[in-house]
Amino acid sequence: MAERATLDRHDPRAVRQAIREGRFRDFTNHVAPDYVQGNLMIVPAHAADAFEAYCRANAQALPLLGRSQPGSPCIPSLSETLDVRTDVGAYTVFRNGDLSGVTMSIADLWRDDLVTFVLGCSFSFESFLRRNGVRLRHLDEGNVSAMYRTSIATTPAGPFRGPLIVSMRALRPDDAIRATVLSASRPMFHGAPVHIGLPGLIGIDDLADSYGGHGLTTLRDDELPVFWACGATAQMAALHAGLDLCITHHKAHMVLTDRLIEEMANYG
């Protein structure tokens, strides 16, 4: 407990080191608030160009922040010390289009043909929203935003296709307006919402039934559900692609980079 108490939760390098050593396994939406966090997607090299094309065709859900060289576990443009094999709190592994399992390290799965992608994450704009006066109740309550599978189809590329996944935040109407305007200026972190209110119109029948089974799913009488495109869309695409091996982050255990949010906010 003493080690956990002395962890500098504002420093992504310190948190990554704690993850690597097994001292930190929490969701990452309450750490490194000034720094960019990202979704993780690792695919074999033969599918990498097709996946990048899929990202560019669905840029609101999958804004591309970085891509590694084949076989390299590093993306120097995002961090000089990040090792994607050990520095993410939990990983989801897919084999041949099926969920294979969840693991705390992928060092034993690493291959020379694997290519890593880091994609924009809404955790990055949440910090920006809070600094600009938007109340995010799920953060106040120590929770994360819920995710949902929608009836909206993404644009396919190669073997990658599937439905759009969205994240939802319960916002009061004035905060929903403010959050829409503010997030629209952050295209690398999913930009503006794709839908507000009336979840049934995008194929969400029950807010209690979230994708992954976690997150804040209840609304108060003065709140609206506000939906943003989500990087977990890549996980559904991985299932459809049926690759022999595909690795993503697990739930809200994101890639912590050393890039400041304000530095990257309008990139691309």
- Give the span between the Cα atoms of 216 and 163, in whole angstroms: 21
Question: Is the backbone of residue 219 left (phi > 0), alpha (psi -120 to 50) or beta?
Answer: beta
CA 81 to chain centre: 20
Domains and CATH numbers, the chain: 2-122+234-262 (3.40.1640.10), 123-233 (3.30.2040.10)
pLDDT value, residue 37: 95
Type and span of the H or E element at 181: helix 173-184
Tokens of 7: 């962890």
Instruction: State which residues of the chain have pLDDT below 50.
Output: 1-4, 268
Other CB atoms closer than 10 Å to residue 208's CB: what's the count?
Answer: 8
Q: How far is CA 173 from the centre of its chain?
A: 25
Q: Cα separation of 37 and 58, whole Å?
A: 19
Looking at residue 265, what is its pLDDT? 61
Do residues 160 and 235 lie in contact, with contact meaning Cβ atoms separated by under 8 Å? no
Three-state SS sequence of 49-60: HHHHHHHHHCCC
* pLDDT value, residue 185: 87
- Burial of 94: CB neighbours in 10 Å, binned 0-12, 13-18, 19+: buried
Q: What pLDDT shows up at residue 1?
A: 35
Cβ contact 114:71 at 8 Å: yes
Helix-strand-coil split of the chain, %, nearest 5: 30, 25, 45
